[in-house]
Chain A
Amino acid sequence: MSATATATGVRPPAVARRRKRRDKAPVLHAYTWLVIGWLSLPILVMILFGFNDTKGRFNFTWQGFTLQWYRELFQIQDLTTALVNSLTIAIIVTIVSVALGTGIGMALGKYRFFGRGAVDLVLFANIASPEITMGTALLSLFVTLHVSLGYWTIVIAHVMFDIAYVAVTVRARMAGFDKSLEEAARDLGAGSFTTFRLVTLPQIFPGIVAGALLAFALSIDDYIITQFNAGSTQTFPLWVYGASRLGAPPQVNVMGTLVFVGGLLLVLVNMSLLRRRRV
């Protein structure tokens, strides 16, 4: 670091200034914004057409501004049920996968033990596997055991793909973990639970929160694995997909918008809390 500082300090000021001007890279800057615009375009369209005063079921051309669909948000019974299912499933799945994934992440981050490589391999395979084959494999198990599909098979499936993400996130947080703090707590007479609560947990907590947010987002967003293990139970993505063949009603846009805004708020609140913690 200090070597860098001297190197920059030694350079003649004129060269430094020229370098700085050239360093702005305006073409790449504009290009980055162009791609961000492209990535945001469908989101803007979704939000905008939630306010569209469309007459029939077809929400294709702009007809004028209305708040009608926000007022009539819960008029479509099946869609409401699907959204409620998605939310409750995501909450249950987040709690279970955080509980299970944190254990794996901590063990991998803290200990060297026999079988560590195998655990790593399973996590890697789980994250790298295509969604469709994880969905069909789980369905094969349910078919073989004659398990009827529905709400709880969706929960099982979502926990299955969320555990690895939580584990990896928590383990990343364990990288800077100082074991001697735990030993110090033990030496001062703290039991293993007290040590965990007062020393270990506060250190890995940001990792757990990040893992929980990721788990929640992946669960509420999932279409492919859910489709194979849902039976006749509907979630928000499944309902939207089914409706898309006929043209999705504007309430879909409104719900999509609300989920979008809710997700943004969650992440922004978390980010500002983390920042305050660091200061």
Chain B
Amino acid sequence: MSKLKARMAPYAMILPGGLWLAVFFVVPIGAMASLSLQQGDLFSGFRQTFHFHTYVDVITQYHDQLVRSFLYGLSTTIIAIVLAYPIAYWIATRGGRHKSTYLFLILLPFFVTFVLRTIAWQFLLADNGIVLSPLKDAHVLPADFHILATSVAVVGGLVYNFLPFMVLPIYVALERIDRSLLEAANDLYASRSQAFLRVVLPLSLPGVFAGVVLTFVPATSDYVNATILGGTGQVMIGNIIETLFIENQDYPQAAALSWVLLTALLIGVFAYARALGTEEVLEVSAA
């Protein structure tokens, strides 16, 4: 009896939270699939017609925005790796007693609401704002120069908002490296750059991989940066989904497009995690 009770213990502990995730996370993905295969409108109601053609429609119609989103997500991720790696490396190897202080400073933006941070950039980069205005007055820049409503502003905003997600896992991976391995490399006459390229870099890659997932997914599916910092030429797939769902209330199209984005990203992430080991990616992401 007591043995059975002990066997059931983990299930009893998981049940309440597991039920919540099943009902409000797993089932909704099915509900969205079902909604995407319906036809109709808000007034006459939606009927389940298994109209798969909606998927073809949305992919052809919003092809440009899909491609743009993936390009922006990719650029954001690459720039973030380049910016984040040296910081993570410096904090992990030279941070000394102040490691946690430096990490805290890197995480400081997270204490300000995401939307508000992005609006602060809109303010800073405004055509006649506090940065560009003086430069224009001094004729350093032409009067019609602008940063807002360009790809640079949107990708810059994305990098700004997600950079800490890249620094943190790389730092964790670097921090875990056994210092005696470096001593060994040194003893075996490896130069500093050889030791870095053949010992440190390979051992830190799991951190980079975790950072890629944590940055690429939110950057590709974001629409807040594109709305606040971009213009009509920077519309991302998230903007389309938002408009279709909330303003047009064209639920089938919106649901179909959402499904396309979800499957594209999740297949990518799972294939990636499988190739590198789920545990590793999840573990470093969690830490």
A contact residues vs B (CB 8 Å cutoff): 1, 3-4, 7-8, 23-25, 28-29, 31-32, 35-36, 38-43, 45-46, 49, 59-62, 99-101, 103-104, 106-107, 110-111, 113, 115-116, 119-134, 136-141, 143-144, 156-157, 159-160, 163-164, 167-169, 171-172, 217, 220-224, 227-228, 236-237, 240-241, 244, 248, 252, 256, 259-260, 263-264
Give Cα distance in the complex from A173 to B198, angstroms: 32
Residue of B nearest to A143 (CB): B251
The closest CB in chain B to the CB of A128 belongs to B269
Roughly how many angstroms separate A119 CA and B258 CA in the complex, as a whole number? 24
List of B residues within 8 angstroms of A224 by Cβ: 222-224, 238
Q: How many Å lie between the Cα of A45 and that of B282 in the bound state?
A: 35
- Give B68-106 interface residues, CB cut-off 8 Å to A: 83, 86-87, 89-91, 93-94, 102, 105-106
Tell me the dominant secondary structure on chain A's binding face: helix
- Find the A residue at minimum CB distance from B224: A223
| Interface residues in B6-32 (C-beta closer than 8 Å to A) | 7, 9-11, 13-18, 20-21, 24-29, 31-32
- The majority secondary structure among interface residues of chain B is helix
1/0 per position for B269-287, CB-CB distance to A under 8 A?
A: 1000100001000100111
B213 touches A40 (CB 8 A): no
- Asked whether A140 lies within 8 Å of B35 as measured between CB atoms, the reply is yes
Q: Is the CB of B262 within 8 A of A130?
A: yes
Q: Are A130 and B261 in contact (CB under 8 A)?
A: yes
Q: Are A141 and B24 in contact (CB under 8 A)?
A: yes
The answer to whether B258 and A137 have CB atoms under 8 Å apart is: yes
Q: Give complex CA distance A106, B188 in Å.
A: 44
Asked if B197 is at the interface of the complex by the 8 Å CB criterion, the answer is no
B86 touches A122 (CB 8 A): no
B90/A28 in contact, CB under 8 A: yes
Q: Are A136 and B255 in contact (CB under 8 A)?
A: yes
Determine the chain B residues whose CB is within 8 A of the CB of A29 once the complex forms: 90, 94
Q: Is the CB of B266 within 8 A of A129?
A: yes
Q: Count the A-B residue pairs with Cβ separation under 8 angstroms: how many?
A: 260
The reply to whether the CB of B138 lies closer than 8 angstroms to some CB of chain A is no
Contact call B111/A163, Cβ cutoff below 8 A: no
Please tell me if the beta carbons of A28 and B94 are within 8 angstroms of each other in the complex. yes
Chain B residues with CB under 8 A of A110: 10
- Cross-chain contact B35 with A46 (CB below 8 angstroms): no
Minimum C-beta distance from A98 to chain B (A): 10
A41 to B15 Cα, complex, angstroms: 45
A62 touches B13 (CB 8 A): no
For A218, the closest partner residue in chain B by CB is B110
Does B57 reach chain A (CB closer than 8 Å)?
A: no
Q: What are the residues of chain A within 8 A of B55 when measuring CB–CB?
A: none
Interface string of B156-170 (1 = CB under 8 A from A): 000010011000000
Partner of B121, one of A42, A115, A132, A264: A42
Residue of B24, B116, B238, B287 near A240 (CB, 8 A) is B116
| A36 to B34 alpha-carbon distance, docked (Å) | 46
Known: A128-B213, A131-B218, A256-B113. A103 touches B14 (CB 8 A): yes
B side interface size, CB within 8 A: 90
Shortest CB distance A177–B (Å) = 14
Task: Choose among A124, A144, A237 the residue that contacts B113 (Cβ–Cβ < 8 A).
Answer: A237
Judged by a CB distance under 8 angstroms, whether B67 is at the interface is no
| B246 interfacial contact with A, CB 8 Å | yes
Contact in complex: A7, B187 (CB < 8 Å): yes
Q: List 23 A-B contacts (CB under 8 A).
A: A4-B179, A28-B89, A32-B86, A38-B160, A39-B108, A41-B120, A45-B123, A46-B117, A61-B130, A115-B11, A126-B25, A127-B282, A131-B218, A133-B221, A133-B265, A144-B34, A163-B21, A168-B282, A168-B286, A223-B114, A228-B245, A237-B114, A259-B112
Residue of A nearest to B109 (CB): A39
Q: Which of A31, A35, A62, A128 has the most CB of B within 10 A?
A: A128
Cβ–Cβ < 8 Å partners of B183 in chain A:
3-4, 7-8
CB of B286 within 8 A of CB of A172, answer yes
Cβ-neighbour of B32 out of A116, A140, A222, A256 (below 8 A): A140
Chain A, Cβ-Cβ closest to B100: A271
Nearest residue in A to B26 (C-beta to C-beta)? A122
Q: Chain A residues with Cβ under 8 A from B20's Cβ?
A: 100, 159-160, 163
